[in-house]
Amino acid sequence: MKFYLMVFILLSTTACSNLKRPNPGPFVGYELVEMGLNEFDEFAGEVGYNFDSVNQVRLVRMDVNLKERHLKSDEASAVTGSGVTGSFEGWEISYDRYLFDGNFFVSLNAGEYEFDYYHKNLNEMSENKSITLGAGLGYTDSNFLDVEGLYLRFSYPIRFLVDKVDEKQLGSATVNELKTLDNVWFFLGYAF
């Protein structure tokens, strides 16, 4: 499912792109997909710096209250069963390098994330914290909607968790084992 979503997103953003890479300088953005799936509860975003037309660095901050329907969804598949909510909190630094003459980039990333799951009716929870290392793909559409400085960035990071999330029963629900973490992120932001 995530692969097909990624292909659709890349094709649709490519169709409306003006193929202009970001200008050198700082930028800040707000994440829309993770926040939308979880009713815009808490905050997720990025700050970074474009060094030139090829290299950039980003610091991503995620603080998300995870809803039951999202945890059970095919995209997350973090929980099997009902009655569990959670939180996803952490940071990640990414070095991005744009490819060829286009707006696509590859990333190397490192971070630390905490995954907490709570049973809504029982006094049971699962707490997990891990350093992550990974890589990713992305695409940036600069001057989005012909607004100077406005950008739309698609990012698909895949990370390895140094300390995996172990499977755990919370009531009749099961928190599934997690060794790798991948996300589909959209950032809407402004480059200064």
The domain locations on the chain are 2-191
pLDDT, tens only, 85-140: 889 899 999 999 999 878 899 999 999 999 999 998 888 888 999 999 999 999 99
pTM of the model: 0.83
**pLDDT at site 28:** 97
171 DSSP assignment: T
Specify the DSSP element, H or E, that contains 64: strand 55-66
**pLDDT confidence tier of residue 2, bands split at 50, 70 and 90:** low
pLDDT value at 14 more than 80: no
* Per-residue pLDDT band at 12 (split at 50, 70, 90): low
Q: Does the domain formed by 2-191 have CATH 3.30.300?
A: no
Intra-chain end-to-end CA distance of the chain, in Å = 35
